[in-house]
Amino acid sequence: MAKIWGGVVSAVVLLAVLGLFVVGRGDSSEVSTSEQAVVSQAGLAEDRSTASTLSGYLFDDSGDEETASGDSEPNGSRVNDQPKEVTPFAASCDGAPTKQISPPAGDLAAIVEGDAPGTCYQLAAGEYRFSDVFAKDGMSFIGDSFETTTVNGSGKSLGFYGNASNVTIVNIDFRDFDVPLHSNPQGQGAIMGATGIWDWAENAHGMSWRIDSVSISGGPGSGIVLGDNFTVTNSEFFDNDITGVAGFNFNGGLLANNKIYNNSSGGAPGASVNDAGVKVVFVNAEDPQQTFTVQGNEVWGNDRIGIWCDLECVNIDVIENTVHAHSRAGIFFEISRGGRIIGNLLYDNHDGSDFLSEWNSGAITVADTADVLVDGNTIDGTRGGAGLVIQQTSRPKAGETWLLDQVAQGRVTNLEAKNITFSNNTLIDVPSVGASHGESASNKTNYDTFSFTGNDYSQSPGIELWFNRTLYSESDWQSQLGFS
């Protein structure tokens, strides 16, 4: 733990320079005034390998069984018409120096500290009690299976963390790492790809970790906190107090074929403005040429929002996910630029919309964000809220000094909704779609850069179509605005 807390004094100084770490207001009625700290660590690794491409983890259609929309899985969910499977990751030590580890291995952190980079650890079945393992470059931690290899984190904070490169963690069940490290612990997870909570220092993040077939539950913040170019597949993140998957100030990566559910139920500090299945902020902001992809996941039953990308997310792809059972948006892009929301299935999201409200939202919402394509999605009913929404607010609001600070520092570069296309989406039993802004945001609208084209409203009789605070009939929507 000394590695984590050693930088607290410097963190206070850094916090004064950066301003408060920001989290978006989201689509609640509250304005975030989050007060995350920045905890840094001395002695960061000097060498970092180049970011791995994701070409080794391609989607494989072979052997897929088509499941029609409306069919059910054991959890009662519907699945996408053309599900994608991630090629299974065959973990092995493959000639690396290998150590056999038996439970409870409470001294694993000390063992790892004394070993060379590249060591491979094979964890036998059983219940473990290790914590605070600061991984080194190229290390692998391979359990027997996540059904049989369990880490009991009760009374502890972290399982694995650090800024190493090419770390592999496979076949492990992490439970109840329940001691928060900060008053807002969203930046904390049983697996944390950083050197400390909300650590913004250069080289503070891990790079190219491979996480497969893990289960993480019962955390006070998030299940996992992503670093640069993490590949996270075939895993489950559930019953964590704020988010299942989180990340801040990272570049690139793949989150695929995971189940992310029942998070944000603990009422933890920070949950009211961060609660989601997935919430990431400042993604690819430092390297806009990279892409972060969220594909083929099932995300359900999280308290408010399913997949949430907030604050300077750049080049984000949200593709072919199944997202359901949220009180607010299923997929939410906010204060960002550049993204694709394609081929997702959404249902049973969002409990109410108001196109005359500044804070209006729907099942898929693009808010104060530029350059987004929303194409080929199916929204099969909502809880009464809209299906597709473009939102323009008048942010930053009075009192949002943290957001003004981020703009002044050049960390947030866009607050306007513009260049947004909703195309070829199918809406079933959806009450409304459209673009909205409050009266105070009228001077920021870019309605001439919005496009609705090729969308199918035929299965939503009586659907309301809103644009620029005006309700249109479907014929006027087409004839006067050229939308479809």
Write the DSSP string, 6-47.
TBHHHHHHHHHHH-SBP---TTSSPPP---B---B-SS--S-
φ and ψ at 245, to 5 degrees? Answer: -130, 130
* DSSP character at residue 469: T
Write the pLDDT tens digit of every residue in 368-389. 999 999 999 999 999 999 999 9
pLDDT number for residue 460 = 96
Q: What is the pLDDT of residue 442?
A: 61
Dump pLDDT digits (tens) for 307-336.
999 999 999 999 999 999 999 999 999 999
**CB contact set of 16 (below 8 Å; sequence gap of 6+):** none
Residue 188 lies in a domain: no
Domain count, the chain: 1
Q: What is the CA radius of gyration of the chain?
A: 22
Share of the chain above pLDDT 90, in %: 63
Q: For residue 322, give its domain range.
A: 304-484
Does residue 12 form part of some domain?
no
- Choose between 249 and 71: higher pLDDT: 249
SS3 282: strand
Average confidence score pLDDT of the chain: 82
Least confident range of 198-207, 216-225, 413-422, 454-463: 198-207
pLDDT tens-digit profile of 67-123? Answer: 333 333 333 333 344 444 556 678 889 899 999 999 999 999 999 999 999 999 999
Of residues 442 and 27, which shows the higher confidence score? 442
Tell me what the mean pLDDT of segment 423-436 comes to.
96
Task: Count Cβ atoms within 10 A of the Cβ of residue 10 and give its class: 0-12 exposed, 13-18 middle, 19 or more buried.
Answer: middle
Average confidence (pLDDT) over 34-56: 26
Among 94, 169, 168, 101, which residue's Cα sits nearest to residue 130? Answer: 101
Is 221 a member of any domain? no
pLDDT at 270: 66
Instruction: Report how far apart the first and last C-alpha atoms of the chain are (Å, whole number).
Output: 57
- In a domain, residue 249? The reply is no
Residue 90 falls within a domain, yes or no? no
User: Tell me, what amino acid is at 148?
Assistant: T
- Selected residue with higher pLDDT from 42 and 229: 229
Overall average pLDDT of the 236-253 stretch: 94
What does the pLDDT average to over 461-471? 92
One-character DSSP codes across 331-374: EEEES-EEEEEES-EEEEE-S---TTSTT--EEEEEES-EEEEE
pLDDT of 42 > 80? The answer is no
Domain presence at residue 341:
yes
pLDDT at 1: 46
- Nearest CA-CA partner of 244 in 270, 216, 269: 216
Q: Compute the distance between CA of residue 393 and CA of residue 342 in angstroms, rounded to an integer.
A: 24
pLDDT value of residue 264: 84
Q: Which residue has the higher pLDDT, 187 or 449?
A: 449
The whole-angstrom separation of Cα 142 and Cα 139 is: 10
pLDDT of residue 440: 64
Q: Are strands 120-123 and 432-437 parallel, antiparallel or unpaired?
A: unpaired
